[in-house]
Amino acid sequence: MSLPEGIRSLKMLRELRIRDCPHLQRVCEKERGLDWPNIAHSPDIHIDETRGVMLSYTVDEQEEKEQLAM
């Protein structure tokens, strides 16, 4: 499991949230995870260990959000 293809090309990515997904928590770990270079351009990254698996990200100023159930 990894982040969606193309997330690196989302230059307007403003927010990324990963919740209760240990594998994504590892691969997205700041400056160490394999997927970190794909998300490092986002100014607001949250990785939590709370209940329920969720990946959510916000692109552009219109607050367009997409949530992917995993």
Residue ranges per structural domain of the chain: 15-68
pLDDT score, position 27: 92
Question: Quick check: 68 pLDDT over 70?
Answer: no
Query: What stretches of the chain adopt beta strand conformation (E)?
Result: 13-19, 44-48, 54-59, 64-68
Residues 12-64 pLDDT 10s: 888 888 888 889 989 998 899 999 999 999 888 888 766 555 667 767 654 44
Instruction: In whole angstroms, give the CA distance from residue 7 to residue 19.
Output: 17
CA atoms within 13 A on the CB side of 4: 15
> Does the predicted model carry a pTM greater than 0.75?
no
Q: Which one is predicted more confidently, 3 or 33?
A: 33
On whether the CB atoms of residues 54 and 17 are closer than 8 A, the answer is yes
Q: Which of 44, 1, 8, 6 is nearest to 26 (CA)?
A: 1
